[in-house]
Amino acid sequence: MKKLFYFNLFLMFFTFSCEEPNNIDESNLFSINKIETLFRDSTFTSEVDLELLKELNICNTLDQANDDIENNYVKCSPCTPKYFKIYSYNNKDLKDAFMLQIKALTVLKGQSKKLPMRHLIIFERENGYLVKVNAFRGNLIETRGNKKGIKDLVIRFYIPDEEAFMNCLFKWNNGKYNFNSVESIDGAGGRGKVKKSMKEEMSREIYQLLMKNEFIF
């Protein structure tokens, strides 16, 4: 797959451009917010964050001081900002709708292996219970505010088989986030932003690649 994908990008030599102006459609945007999650905070920004993690029951709520997940007695990672970061994505209360960014190498409760890469999971509350809306094996790097009040997301994926990073735009539609387009590719023959004229064709191929490798689930 890697050779075929690289060959396709090689044929599209002019797909990527450093000189083309920003091709983001700003007609419906209020703000663009760059995000870098470092997992270095010692405390959560609010008590709601910890309460949500406890409700999800995915981490160790009893021994939050013990970060040694190599220890045989520690079955999962503690519920701390060193492993989890919560963001809002709409105008609802955080307890009713949020994004959960999970650090790579985190051990979730009930799992025996560490996550090989970062995960981003979207939750909403329905009938009093938190329900998974979307899940991605990727890193949230940007949100874009718009008139609908539900942020667009730019998620960065790393495809090991292709040795490539791909920044992809997701927009909310029909109650969940849907793949919209690939914004840029670094590696596997790609070298930055995808030109507007080639975006539709490249986006179809990238979406198929992400689905085949279960980076969207």
Domain ranges, ordered by start, for the chain: 2-212
The pLDDT of residue 202: 94
The pLDDT of residue 95: 98
The pTM for the full model equals: 0.87
Of the candidate ranges 49-58, 62-71, 101-110, the one whose mean pLDDT is the lowest: 62-71
**104: number of CA atoms within 13 Å, CB side?**
11
Of the candidate ranges 29-33, 84-88, 166-170, 197-201, the one whose mean pLDDT is the lowest: 29-33
For 127-136, the pLDDT digits (tens) are 999 999 999 9
With a CB cutoff of 8 Å and minimum separation 6, the contacts of 28 are 146, 147
The H or E element spanning position 119 is strand 119-126
Decide if 154 contacts 169 (C-beta within 8 A).
yes
pLDDT of 65 > 90? The answer is no
pLDDT of 15 > 90? The answer is no
The torsion angles phi and psi of 110, rounded to 5 degrees, stand at 90, -5
**Across residues 4-13, what is the average pLDDT?**
49
The pLDDT of residue 22: 58
Nearest Cα neighbor of 84 from 47, 40, 125, 135 is: 40
